[in-house]
A and B are shown apart, each in its own frame.
Chain A
Amino acid sequence: NAGVTQTPKFQVLKTGQSMTLQCAQDMNHNSMYWYRQDPGMGLRLIYYSASEGTTDKGEVPNGYNVSRLNKREFSLRLESAAPSQTSVYFCASSVVQGAEAFFGQGTRLTVV
C-alpha cells in the first residue's frame, strides 16, 4: 500500500520546456489535488478533481493544466515552463472533497 506516489522527485527544466508531473493513489479516493509550495510559505491549490471526470481551478491555476486520467491518476502539465514555476509540487488525495488529505512526497522543480 504505497499511498500517494509522485514522479519524478526532482526535475530541472529550461524556460519554455514542457513537462508532466504524474500522481497516482492506491487508496480508492475520489478527490485529488495539486498544490505548490514556495520556500517558507504554505501550500497553494493549483487544481483539484472532486471525482473522476471532473477538474476545477484552485487559487493559482495559470500556466498549468491537469488531467484526471482515471480514479487513480491525476497529472499536472506545464506547457511552457517559466522561472516563476520553480517550486515544490505536492499531490494529495482524499476519500471525498474536504476530508483528511494524504500527501505524496513532492516533486522539486527548478526552471532555469
Chain B
Amino acid sequence: SQQGEEDPQALSIQEGENATMNCSYKTSINNLQWYRQNSGRGLVHLILIRSNEREKHSGRLRVTLDTSKKSSSLLITASRAADTASYFCATDSSYKLIFGSGTRLLVRP
C-alpha cells in the first residue's frame, strides 16, 4: 500500500477561499514534499519540509508537519481558478520518494 494518503480525495471551493488538504503516512521520514499535477501533465514540486521542521511557507502555501502524528497539511490561501489541480504528498523514506493518492482540488470562479 502507498505510504501517504491524502484527505479529502476531492475538494471544491469558491475562488478566494482557503483550501486545506491533509496527508498521513506510515513510517519515519527524512522529509515530506508536496506536488501539483495539472490534468494530464507531469508533477511540479511545490514545497519540501524536513522532518525537524514544523511549519514552512512559500507564497500562498503553508505546510505543517507533525511527526508524532505522522501527518502533514497543505494550506492554499486566497485560492484562484488556476489552482485547480491534483495535489500529492510524497514522503522521503529510506531515500525513496513515495507518493500518496492525491487530492483533486476544484476552484470555482
Residues of A within 8 A of B (CB): 4, 33, 35, 41-45, 48, 50, 56, 58-59, 90, 92, 94, 97-106
Determine the residue in chain B with the shortest Cβ distance to A50: B95
Name the A residues within 8 Å of B70 (CB-CB): none
How far in angstroms is the closest Cβ of chain B from A98? 4
Are A98 and B101 in contact, with the CB atoms below 8 A?
Answer: no
- Taking residues whose C-beta sits less than 8 angstroms from the other chain, chain B's interface range is 20 to 34
Q: Chain A contacts of B95 at CB under 8 A?
A: 50, 97-98
Chain A: CB-nearest residue to B5? A42
Contacts of B96 in A (CB 8 A): 45, 48, 56, 58, 97-98
What residues of B have a CB within 8 angstroms of the CB of A58 in the complex?
Answer: 96
Q: Are B43 and A43 in contact, CB atoms less than 8 angstroms apart?
A: yes
The docked-state distance in angstroms from the alpha carbon of A97 to that of B93 is 10
| Distance to closest chain A CB from B75 (angstroms) | 20
Residues of B within 8 Å of A98, CB to CB, are 30-31, 92, 95-97
B48 x A100 contact (CB < 8 A) = yes
User: How far, in whole Å, are A44 and B107 apart by their CA atoms in the complex?
Assistant: 27
- How far in angstroms is the closest Cβ of chain A from B93? 8
Nearest CB in chain A: distance from B64 CB, A: 19
* Complex Cα–Cα for A94 and B96 (A): 11
Q: Is the CB of B101 within 8 A of A101?
A: no
| B101 contacts across to A, CB distance below 8 A | 41-42
Extra contacts, 13 of them, besides A42-B2, A58-B96 (Cβ < 8 A), are A42-B88, A45-B97, A45-B99, A59-B2, A92-B43, A100-B33, A100-B45, A100-B48, A101-B33, A101-B35, A101-B45, A104-B42, A105-B41
